Copies of this chain bind each other. A is one copy, B any other.
Amino acid sequence: MTVADIATAANVSKATAARVLGGYGLASEAARKAVLEAADRLGYQPNDLARSMSTGRSGLIGVVVGDIENAFFSLAVRGISDTARAAGLNVIICNSSEKLAEEREMVSVLLRQRVAGLIVAPTDAARIEHLQAALDSGVPVVTLDRSSPALATDSVCGDDRATASAVLQRLQAAGHRRVAYVTAMTSRSGRLDPAAPIGISAVRARIEGFLSASAAADVAEPQKLVFTNATDDASIAGIVDKILSQAPRITGLLASDSLVGARLFRALTARGVTLPRDMSLVSWFDADWTRVTSPPISVVEQPTYLFGQRAVERLIARLKGDTSAPQQLLIPTPLIERGSIGPAPA
């Protein structure tokens, strides 16, 4: 059932039918009634594809996240979906699996679908040519959870640097001198590689905050307290063994995300380490699991639903023609204290 069918059925021209069906332009009451009646009777359903072709606007926004399966992103996606729908936009979701090549592929696919705008959690802050190209071709882009100095566009991120510093200071105030930061970021050596820049800006910001607060407290060689490659149970087990065998003793742990946190917790528990007596632990992201452990885990709350919401708001503003300078939104990510921070053991 097309506009043409309705038009003939209602004895009006295609243009008139299109006007009332599309809700634009003028039409007499009689014409409107006839068209609506015919549309209803014949079960007319507008073809948004054709509409988009005609208008050039698509009503679709594309989202590329690292992994929808991760609660961090799935909550953000919910925020994006809800906000977008409320504005009459639909959402196409893609995973990059945190791989640059896949991210590029997804962006390209979305651009071919002529999405009105893009929300992306870029895998590598240094490799954003594809996003720049989208921007150049007039498609607004807002980056989520991450930003790139090389990309002049809106971003919505957590306040990672300040939070990392604050959390470390909280631990230091409890007497912890040696605190490790454990991250899923990969590196050749398993430690921080000063030569290799960190691609994911959120990761870099947290490590910077961690290092600067370490330096401010005169911690010796804080880079050696950053443990990378925490990608699976086996690697985390290795890291935990390394951490537990250090002298002077490491008494506090920061987990870069909730998956790393959960694995750290399990590895520690399996080795008979009691929290917070023997070890203090703080994990990024307020995941479900952090509230059922004994003790419950102190976490950095990342309101990613809000991240998503804000990202869509920025996108819509740009879609409406806002040409003001790119905004770097920094969302506060407060520490929620539960039971996994204790005084440093003697």
Residues of A within 8 A of B (CB): 45-50, 52-53, 58, 60, 67-69, 71, 74-75, 77-78, 81-82, 85, 90-95, 108-109, 111-114, 258-259, 262, 265-266, 269, 287-289, 291-294
Contact = CB atoms under 8 A, between A and B. Distances in A.
A80 to B, nearest CB: 10
A95 B78 CA distance: 8
Contact of A113 (B48, B81, B93, B292): B48
B95 A93 contact: no
Nearest to A63: B93
A273 B111 CA distance: 55
Contact of A45 (B69, B92, B111): B111
Contacts of A48: 112-114
Given A78-B69, A262-B288, A49 B52 contact: yes
A68 B71 contact: no
A75 to B, nearest CB: 5
A293 B291 contact: no
A136 to B, nearest CB: 10
Given A53-B53, A74-B69, A262-B292, A93 B81 contact: yes
Given A77-B68, A289-B289, A90 B92 contact: yes
Contacts of A111: 45
Given A69-B74, A292-B265, A81 B53 contact: no
A259 B113 CA distance: 36
Contacts of A81: 68, 93-95
A325 to B, nearest CB: 27
Given A49-B58, A109-B90, A113-B90, A75 B82 contact: no
Report the 7 A-B pairs with minimum CB-CB distance, sorted nearest first.
A289-B289, A74-B74, A69-B78, A48-B112, A288-B289, A93-B93, A289-B292
B112 A46 contact: yes
A56 to B, nearest CB: 10
Contacts of A269: 292, 294
Contacts of A292: 262, 265-266, 269, 289, 292-293
A74 B82 contact: no
Nearest to A111: B45
B74 A112 contact: no
Contacts of A45: 108, 111-112
Given A91-B92, A92-B93, 16 more contacts: A45-B112, A47-B112, A49-B49, A69-B75, A69-B77, A71-B71, A71-B74, A91-B94, A92-B92, A262-B292, A269-B292, A269-B294, A288-B288, A288-B289, A289-B291, A292-B292
A63 to B, nearest CB: 9
A292 B291 CA distance: 10
A140 B221 CA distance: 61
Contacts of A94: 81, 85, 90-91
Contacts of A50: 53
